[in-house]
Structure 1
């Protein structure tokens, strides 16, 4: 009979495997869909719709986990923070998808590993109480150099693609800060936060798409209209869209599940290797070549992320010791 500890390890291991696979499929199918239908707002709308629906079923219909209400129509501090959090979270995914229109998944994921760099800059500018150690600053070197090498060795690199990924990194760094702030006024777990942020983000995306639809009709600009995507949707693309929406939900769901079961540094390390798996799967699927410069850049960027995670863990341990 297996011990509870052994069962826990097996469950976490399977969750990480699902996390890696769903992430690889979600990112790969995003790139596949967007190369045929280059409308990132439409893809984001589908992703948020599927996530909101499945999370609603998971939390409020099947009640697999306790549901914690977050009123979005009543003025509270938690609501204000949640609205801001949903705004940056939604912006982050819009620009991730916009990046996939232009650059390969392997390059986008490598550039996204520079998120800690943005977090450190934000901490130094706005969060004076946040400790920034020498090890943290040193970890920025391989991240920056790795991102530069990977960009230099990738044929799809473009300044616009870099700009889109940088905006997504800024958005996700702000997401981390606002999530901490929300936890001060809201007692729901990470999955409840994901649900509320997804449903608020869905409202934003519906309003944005509706506004562009009206502008497209009034100005005669077809490319602004999300409904124009429906004219080019084949059965194969519809399948890709359905798979993408489900894997987007599962990828985020498994990320939150793993985070709830392990320490933050373990999750950060697992997330770094998730990027490696996503890069390798996308390279295999699309048949992209990784030259020596690409490989060096990817390895350097990932090693920088691991070093950054270690420095964050050291700070956490110091805070525990100091009480």
Structure 2
């Protein structure tokens, strides 16, 4: 299928992704997982959750390989890869592929629709728990598709709060209640938080925490952009050429700031997020400032700074993204 794993598309903590081709000529992306630890919960999660879905903004699972400890997932192939390649300024890989504001706005709406479907459109509610630019794939028309359901949890639609041991997700996008239940129960609103943080990165063209900036007040982008909105200042974003761009970006910012409210009950459900993005800008109000304090100025690397984020001045435990583990490759994919 992959011509002996000749064409590698990417590498992550879970293993590698390779381009393949089925006998009918259809191209696929083969995600080969490292040797799984424990009972392979993440693999089962991914197959069980994504096989229940059918939506234009959710990646399609074509099949899977389960052969002893060798495991692989076969997805539809998406020509433009992941969103993170296109949004961060200064990233060498996107120097010739900077997306326009109209495209970014459409991507934000598409991801919101995909999450709304996961939360409300399936027979069982699916909580993703790892929404971030790396897990949003783009087709040839830059239509976004949510991928990587390894950390997902399936729960009854009528159940609003779920029980969960420990934290799951990627630092920088994890909702505060996932770190500490003192902020509230874990629910679909945790995905809403991750979505808001991701869209702010799309707007800023940078990680939300950036130790490379000169001014300390600009390290934490959500606070910097909130202050600009409060003072009714120019947003200071590049290439806002026309009124439509400005309106779309302002909606993305306001909606994102609502999504990252510290109290989960203050965040809108994804159905409301879609309405806000597609509705009138005049109907959107500036939300309360999220109670997040930016990290101290230091020469630490970005991952360390993310860990040092404080919620209500209380240091909370953190955890790196969970991933599967194996180096052996299954015969079918080879």
TM-score (norm 1): 0.30
More helix by share: 1
Q: Which has the higher contact order (CA 8 A, sep 6+)?
A: 1
More strand by share: 2
TM-score (norm 2): 0.29
